[in-house]
Structure formats: C-alpha cells, structure tokens
A and B are shown apart, each in its own frame.
Chain A
Amino acid sequence: MATAVLNARRQTLGFSYYVRVLRQEIRYEFLKMLRLRAFSLSVVGFPVMFYLLFGVANRHTDFARYLLASYSCFGMIGASLFGLGAGIAMERMQGWLELKLASPMPRLAYLAAKTVSCSAFALIIVALLITLGVTLGGVAMTPAEVLKLAGITLAGALPFASMGLLLSLVMPATAAPGIINLIYLPMSFLSGLWMPLNMLPHWMQKIAPALPTYHYAQLALNIFGYAQPGGSMSGHWEALVGFTCLMLGAAWLIFTRTEAKA
C-alpha cells in the first residue's frame, strides 16, 4: 500500500502546473496588496499627492513635465521597496512565508508574483499621473511618450524589486517601514526625483551618480529631454543592470548563509 501511494505521488510537475501557480500567485498577491490599505493608499497616494502639490501647482511649466517623469519612477521604487522589502519581512515574521515554503510552491513564483504585483501598482500610478498631468497640469504628451514612460517605469521593477528582496533579508519586520523610508526618501531626493538636480547644492549633485535611482530617473527624464547634459543612456542602463546583479548577488549570499545556519 505504501508503495502505491509513493508511486501515485511521483508525478512530475508539468508546464501547465507552473502557469497555474504563477497566475494564482499574481492574482492573490495583487488582491492582497490592493486590500491592504496601509500599502495601497500610501504607495499610490504619495506620488499622486506630491504631483498635485508640486506638479499641478506649476501647470504649463517644465516642472509639470519633469515631475511627471520623476514621480513615475518614485512610484515604482516605492511600490517595490515596500511591496517586496516590507512585505517579505512581514510574511517571514508571521510565519506565513514558512508555511508557503513547506508547500511545493515554486520559490521563483513567489518573488515573480510580488514583482509583477508591484509593477501593476506602478502602472496604476503612471496612469493616474499622466491623467492628472494632461488634464490639470497642462502637459501635452504624444502616445509614443506615454508608452515610453510606462515602459521605462516598468524597467525599474527588477532593480528595485531586487533591492527590496535584499532589504527584506536584513531588516527586522517591525522596523521595516521606517528603515525603508529612511533609505527611499533621501535617495529619491538626492537623485532629483522631487526637484531638478541643478536646483540642489553642488555637493549633492556629486552624490547622485552613485545612486541607482539617479540612473533610473535619467532614463525617464530623457523622454522629455530633461536628462542631465553629457549623460549617456546606455551608461544608465548598464548602471541599473549592474545594480540589479549586485542586489541579487548580495541577497543570494545572505540567504544561503542564513539557510546554512538555520
């Protein structure tokens, strides 16, 4: 009898299984985040509110266009850092992650679903910002610019999801939102996401190229021709790719070390 049971279970998990798992994982991950108001309201609310305060207030100016691009980036970064960083740290503390790890859930589906869900939030943010910019901010955009902005914003999913993953491994869950804000807000400010870099003190402008958020924002700002003069777009792409590898590598190292100790 025992062998019959064993044989019945020796089925390989096929392609359709993985597709179904990923679909369900994304669906419920997104629904869960959407219903968690502490997450959805703040992640969507802050870029939108900032844009209303600083972008729409300066309607028909370069400012309204500049901030449209930079707050789109700000939205993606926030969704990823909070969605993955605080999200995973919390689920680990509650034991929910452990229960999932004890199931046959493919590990990658878990991370992919969170990344996709955060990207969906970023798209919602971009859509709201463009709507506000066009209707209230006096920004004119071609369809190509709309698509480019959405595309570049989504390109931030992987680098900042990786950063969120790394943070989730090193932060205690209870302190996570505070720690993330301490990194996220200054980094955004120093990268020119809240105001153009040339309005910042000179020494601050020197720090910017060391930050991944700077390179990300430059790619988005380039759509409207606001990138820093002399910057190369391929250089910014390379910086983001390098940053992603660094974050994933560090996360992998820490994960395997804690697993060896566990």
Chain B
Amino acid sequence: MQQSAIAEKLSPEAFAEYLESQEKKSFLRFITCGSVDDGKSTLIGRLLFETKLIFEDQLAAVERDSKKHGTTGEDIDLALLVDGLEAERQQGITIDVAYRFFTTDKRKFIVADTPGHEQYTRNMATGASTADLAVLLVDARHGIQVQTKRHAFLVSLLGIRHVVLAVNKIDLVNFDRAKFDAIREDFDKFARSFDFDTLVAVPISARYGDNVVQKSDRLPWYDGPSLLEHLEEIEVQSDLIERPFRMPVQWVNRPNLDFRGFSGTIATGKIRPGDPVVVAGSGREAKVSKIVTMDGELPEAVASEAVTICLDREIDVSRGDILVPPAHRPEVTDQFAAHIVWMAEEEMFPGRPYLLKIGTRTVTAQVTEIKHRIDVNTFDHLAAKELGLNEVGFCNVSLSEEIAFDPYETNRDTGAFVLIDRLTNATVGAGMVWFALRRATNIHWQALDVSKASRAALKGQKPAVLWFTGLSGSGKSTIANLVEKRLHAQGRHTYILDGDNVRHGLNRDLGFTDADRVENIRRVAETSKLFTEAGMITLVSFISPFRAERRMAREMLAEGEFLEVYIDTPIEICRQRDPKGLYKKADAGELKNFTGVDSPYEAPEHAEISIDTTTGEPEDHAERIVTLLKEHGIID
C-alpha cells in the first residue's frame, strides 16, 4: 500500500497502527550498477516516483529543468530527479556515488547510485562496500556487455551475496521472452563462478514502470516478483547475529573513577552479561558485567548495535582492540594477503609506506608484493609492479604491528581496510583481507648481544645516516666525498653508498620506472640501517626523487639518526654541468624516466640542511655538513 493512500483514509486508529508498522520497518541498502544508457537513473527515479517520496514541488522543479537538459521530449525525465551536481547535470552523466532514500510500508531503502564507466571502479567499490544487494542493469537490446561482467566482478569482490539482474528497456524489444531468457542464460553462465547466494533476473521498463513496482500485464510470461516486491522480501543479513561475537573498541568511556566501559558497535554476533570475552591480540580475559546504554542496561546486545560494555575486572583495553569470545578468536598477524582496489591518481608502489585503518585501529603498512593484478573486464590475472587508479590487485601486505582480523568473506567489518596517504591524508586504497601470511610468524628476530650503541662507542661516535638528495649533476657525490674525507681524517668510521655504484651490484636488477625507484630506495634505506647497526656514519648519495621514500628511510631509523642533506642545485645548472652527459641523452629521448626531464623530483620540505651550490665552493659546503654533525652530537 502506498503512503498517500494510507494518509487519505486517516482515522486515529488506522494512523496509530500505521505508525507502529513504520517503527518495525526493516532496512535494505543496495547498489545499482549500469552505464549511462542502461537507464539506471531512470530506474531510481521511477522507484522514488512510485513510492511517492517525490514531493510535488520537486516534481515541479524537475519539469522546469527538463526543458533545459531533458532527453525525453515533453515527458518528465525521471533521471533528472536523481542526478545531483550541477556539472554532471550539464554533462548528462553521473560522476560520483549518490545515496537516495525511499520507503515502503515494509522497508526503508538506501540506494547507492554509482556510475558504470571503467574509470569509476572506485565509486562502485565505495557504493558496494555498504550494500547488501546489487541491482545490475542491462539494456535488453544489447544484452550482457563487458561492463556487466565488470560490475558482477566488483560486486562479488566487495562481498555482496545477492544480485538482481534488471533487464531494462524490455519495451524496446517488444516484451520478447526469448530475448530475456537469452540474456539471463548468458549472465548465469559467467556469474556461476561468483557463487552468489541469490540471483534473480527481472524484465523491466524503467521508463514506463513495467515490473518496477507492480507486475506488468504486458509481460504475462514472467512469473517472478516485480523488482520492488523482490527488494521488499529478500533476507540479506539474517546470519550476522549467528557469527562469532566481534566488537572493535572505539572509545574508552570513563566519566569517573567508578565507571570504565568500552564503547563500540558490535560487528557480528551477540553478547550477554556474564559472557567471557578476550582482547584479541593480548588474549587478556574478563567477563562482561553489564551492557550500558542511555535507555538502560541490556540483557543482550547484537550485531550492528552501538553499546558500551563493562567488564568484571580491570584489564588493559584501548581503542583499536577487538573484544571477542575466547572460543572463537580472530587471526592475529602482521602480514596478510588482500585484494586492494586502488583509488588514487598516484600509483601504489610496493615498499611505499601507507597508513592502514582496519576497524578502529590504524597502523603503518606497506605492500611487499603484488601477486597479480586482476583485469576487471576479463578477470585475467596479470603481472604488475604497481597499481594505478581503478586497478585491482591481490597483494601481500606487511604491517608495523600485529592486528586482529577475520577474512573479509566471513566478516566485512573486521576484514576490510582503507589505505591512507601519509602526506596528503587522502584515502588512496581499499582492501579486503583474505588470509594471514605465516612466514612472519616463523622468522623471529635474532637477539644479538653486542648492541648498536656499544659498536658506535668503540668508534667514538654515534651512528648516523647523511642522506644526500638532489638532481643528477647537483654535486651530491662530490660533496659527500669531501665530507667523508674530512671525517676519515678525524678518525671517524664512515661509508658511502653511492647511487651509481649500488646500481652496479645490489640493485642491478632494477630499472628507472617509478616502481623500481621506490624499491631502489627501500633497499638502500635497509642497507644504511644495517650500517647504523654497525655503528657507522653512512653517507647515502642518491637522487631519491620522492618524498615518500625519503620519509620511509627516515622512519626506519631511530630518532635523530637520519639527517637529510638537500643539494639544491637548479636544473639549468645541472644541465650545464652534465658531468656524465646524461641530460643530453635524456633530452634526445635516449634515456627514459630521467629525473627532472620526464620524471618528477620532489624537493625536501624539512631537510636538516639545504646546500645552495650556486654560491661557495664544494669544500665550504662539506665543512657546513661536518658542522651539522657536531651540532647533532654525532661527533664531538
């Protein structure tokens, strides 16, 4: 029954009854996927329209707008009800995820409306991440397209288990049953591998409303439910409560000394006072003493409820921990394999550190290896050294500390993560954990008896890394060499890691792509770290063009050990000097990915020292660097 119909025969009793039914409405979040031409916006517009949540003045506004942008002549263009931002209304395409709402007597619906173009994989992943069902639209005239397969793949990747194939524009193929059956069979064939829990195909015409809300008598051969009937009836989340209890702790609730509770949203399962819980990771155990809410203490709390749990004894629990039952613990690891959807313009390189947020926990992470990239159109596995925008990879991920997780397919809340760029703070990737990598647990640190400090003390110095960065030809090696001579003369123990020299040995397998540059720096940073363990003063002379890797090197070392030396020579001067004739080659196109020519250099923002080589002699610059070492207490 439609809402307006109820309102019309509004008696006080009927209204009270109506309100009661409204309060017990269930909830479904779904995503619609399709291209601009499949009529996706029209379908959503139709659902909103028919469920009477489109108020008359919004309709009036749409009638006005239709005259400017409409594509359906004098009719109201339902798609204009849903397209949001000014720019995209003018382009006539949808460019981001939009969330719409409609409600029937049985359910409240949230629709994530996402565009279907290839370049918008990230939007689809975003919309799918909170959806429990996907409506895939195809045009009855064209059948299953490459993008339909892509949508099915992404929907499956993001863990959606329920799919509706809406075969739209059935009016344009004369409501032909054979056409519909052929499309459904096509889809079944390739979707079989995804093993969706439910898969229902519905022939519809969004434009004219056939089978959208009500069964259409123009499709007498179709005996299934209308699209909306199906959306109203399907059960999608019934098993969340049956799974093991998980509650990531968001906030420690401590109003006074007498109360200490742990606030969070229950991801899965249920909990009652008296139930034992452990902190995943530490394994500390306690019993739930009470479940507190402003509406009173609860005898039981279940999945998706936001509560505050008190324990019967003081154990160490803080934000980021997960409370779990002792008998059903999640995995705890610092290395796992995961699918990653890359969402940033700047590529993801293995070895580059990012922040990883999983549940309520944030740690530092790096992808150690891209096992393969997945072509979202063919599902082929391809070799990859980097992940670009909208690419999907299966990766090994290494973390700065151990975290607790469940595989994504068993728990979307404790198995999903986002990756955050540490400089821009942008969300650059989304990941779904598959399994822990056991390797980590089997390689333990070998404890050594002679320490870094004792080795350095024997040499009468503190270990340090002088990291020279700058363009090719800026004078890094010249100055580093002079600095080493001075230190050597003073009896210091030093070593130079020079970019060109290291590339002849340790790094001779690496080229000059961005991905290889990142790996190049990672290895050198690791090597210089070993030298500091040995107590040495290490001079690293590498172009090291990217801030992120220099920062990674800095963070690998102890506080105060890393001194960044920026050899700040303008590119025109480097080009004039061109000591190895490299600029000439790069300008002639014989040398690819040359920093400053066709590959970027990101100047340091907080170098310990910047050397302007356009004034003064190299000896003066070297002297300044030696002074810097004294100021930092590396040498006396």
B partners with A = no
Interface set of B (CB-CB < 8 Å, partner A)? none
